[in-house]
Chain A
């Protein structure tokens, strides 16, 4: 578990070095190493803190998380048209990243407290989802906001949501999706259209999609070798150390390397669901399912975007993408997963 996460993170740092040194910014990899140390510390903090104590502070943490999300809306720094960052001294945080583990923790806590059946069992989890998704969507960061929905859904499902609610949920999604498109901001709509027809927007939104696709495709089976990617070395792919890091992986390590990274990530997902499957308490099950879904969905959306299966969203690739907030958040999730695997039924608490 720890080994898997560490392996993915190290691969991530290698490629951040590869991607940023060609742009003349060598300090990124170093910074990421420091962040990795912080993140690993956070992981052990969570593990040592222990499951049952975490449950006790879950509500408080969630409150802090939502407060931070609201705060970023007011005090946040505007970067590329979105208000996603909080500046505290020399550091910059992305509260929406930290909201992910906190959200999983709270939902697990709620579900452990009450089985998600009947209206009363559902109200609190859904309210929590809305509470966290709304400010994120207002940043605007629709991609991250939408991640919360499948996470909540899978957690509820695994913890025993009655089947009829599934149909209701599916119907709701089907109805709101077309309405949702009408409410999108112009840039979001452009991204969607650029995804559908990238050649039309070749100089703006479509550029990255096409470049990334060529970068991935030209990797071949074994790739071109570290720092020898054309798109990487010629600086043809903007944002390649953050959201598009996977295209660098695919170009320089080829199909083999990409599958390796995906397998490592799937290993984490597998561990999460196995934890959910075998756990003897709902808290562990919910944590496992939540973390696994979080990693799976983010991976799918990010890699899908890089390979032109999905439109462009700002979702990071867990453990790999450059950025302190994302890395720490991923490791906190890993910590939660560890905690979930370690938790055993305590009759007193689960009564």
Chain B
């Protein structure tokens, strides 16, 4: 060895290699388990299976709320807007006011000169997809100019125009919408985000219809970069059902916060395999998922939405296939069937809407407690409610209130048949007992009859119901006493949940035990539906069912709720007297609902007029009853909020309309 220094360096280099091998030994042999596990995890793939949201259907299985496939028109900028690509390249090489490329209008056949560019940037600018000759360089006095054919300049615009023509959209609208998106891409600072925006479909027109979607697919050869995106949207049967079904909206910030705290938010795109357990064990939401916000959609949320499924796949590197390591099947959303009859519901809603009455209409089948219609006006279109302008409009018009079961009112005289039945059952009066109405009870200042300063004279119970005499019921209340009256009203279902509807209210039934001050004579107020008594239209409907059939049913909105009755404990003869009184309300000469068109349906009814504002003379107008009189098939309740005029006058015609729809329907169905 002539040069020991070379040997020294060899040793040094050998040291370097030994260091490398030692490091490899450390990674590959000592830490093998740990890294192998990490690598294995990279072969895992998590697939989230999204279930279909269940639909809500009426008693004839007609859809009230359902998921429908809709089609959106979308464009992928990277694949159809080469002008944008050109602009980005020009900007990248530092050409001033590169925006000009968008405003160049091609004139005739000639190419348009765009700008001067540095020679050495040409290869960059002219790369694919701008290398088909539509963009070229012009050399002139040793300067290089970039020129484009008219085709290139008008390409994007014409593709959009063609897409607009084929789908029947407005070309200007598409262009302006896309233009805004293009500006967003241009302004985007982050390269990754820009690339993502450029290469993913952007929706330019929503809901283009099945036929238009098909046309776009068929003509895709001349629509480069234009595609159809399928999206499930919730459809609703219309305004009449708005307050009943509620609507869907994005989960809001609070819910999102709660969900995030519970680790129940997952991504639509990539989810790490480690979240398998989480998705399998809890009901997870996408961060941009819509959830039921109101009424049925909210109340039935867990049933309707089902449960997301998840599959853990392991990719087999050798054959490229997948092995299923674990799977939790998605549970499809349940379909919910209602007892509602969609046509009756619409008719009921229309009856209120055409008169502009705020209020509620309830139709119930007294034989099984099925709710046939529960319309509430004003309502809203659930499909549009999430649009801010429409939402504001609805809010100004009266909000989202559901008035059949979700709101309580003073019942007015509609409780009188119940009081009468109570008194008769307690044998405090008989059908023949007469009480003289002098226009007032004991003192002229308080407890007057509604007819004061006139008087009804001597009345028996049927006539008192017919004329809705207050004095008669003051006397009856006096005989019954507060506690007994409250007990009897409770027996008719006041003060308790009337239906299987989660949001239905209990209302308030005053009794000596829960009301303060319960002064002497308070029972008299309750007996004519005043005081603190609060009931919902559904409760009144239920009480009417009891009078019509002699037993108190549970009102059923959902088909699956089993029919359930509670015996009333009132003899048939007593109910016959009350029913006769209610019959007189419609048919009698002095009946408060005389000549309102109800007699055509052999209806028996009781009106109610609850004063809410003496000063502005506003009342809640009620009418509640059943038809036909001898074999009740339907119980109806109409409430009109805060109107001038008497119950029969205002609510009677509405009830007549609804009954007309009911019996018309039935006749058609029977035929």
Binding site for B on A (CB under 8 A): 75, 77, 87, 154, 157-158, 160, 213-221, 224-225, 228-231, 233-234, 236, 250-251, 254-255, 258-259, 262, 265-266, 269-270, 273-274, 276-280, 285, 288-289, 292-293, 296, 299-300, 303-304, 307, 309
Contacts and interface: CB of A to CB of B under 8 A. Distances in A.
Contact of B24 (A160, A259, A289): A259
Interface stretch (B25-33, B174-182, B298-306, B520-528): B25-33
Please name the 4 residue pairs, one residue from A and one from B, whose CB atoms are nearest each other, closest first: A217-B35, A218-B39, A273-B10, A276-B6
B20 A307 contact: yes
Interface string B3-17: 111110110011011
Interface of B: 1-7, 9-10, 13-14, 16-17, 19-21, 23-25, 27-29, 31-32, 34-36, 38-40, 42-43, 120, 123, 315, 317-318, 320
A54 B517 CA distance: 120
Nearest to A22: B317
A255 B6 contact: no
Given A158-B3, A289-B6, A224 B23 contact: no
A246 B120 CA distance: 35
B1 A278 contact: yes
B29 A220 contact: yes
A217 B16 contact: no
B9 A157 contact: yes
A119 B2 CA distance: 25
A309 B5 CA distance: 27
Contact of A217 (B7, B13, B14, B27): B27
A273 B13 contact: yes
29 contacts: A75-B120, A158-B5, A213-B27, A213-B35, A214-B42, A215-B39, A216-B35, A217-B28, A220-B32, A221-B29, A224-B317, A230-B40, A231-B42, A236-B42, A250-B27, A250-B28, A262-B21, A266-B13, A270-B10, A273-B7, A274-B6, A276-B6, A277-B1, A280-B2, A285-B3, A292-B9, A300-B20, A307-B20, A307-B27
Nearest to A233: B317
A177 to B, nearest CB: 19
Contacts of B28: 216-217, 219-221, 250, 254-255, 258
A274 B10 contact: yes
A258 B7 contact: no
A293 to B, nearest CB: 7
A228 B317 contact: yes
Contacts of A229: 317
Given A218-B36, A296-B13, A250 B24 contact: yes
Nearest to A273: B10
Contact of A277 (B2, B17, B21): B2
A277 B42 contact: no
Contacts of B6: 158, 273-274, 276-277, 285, 288-289
Contact of B21 (A236, A259, A296): A259
Nearest to B30: A217
A254 B24 CA distance: 9
B43 A230 contact: yes
Contacts of A255: 24-25, 28-29
Contacts of A154: 9
A262 B17 contact: yes
A34 to B, nearest CB: 24
B367 to A, nearest CB: 66
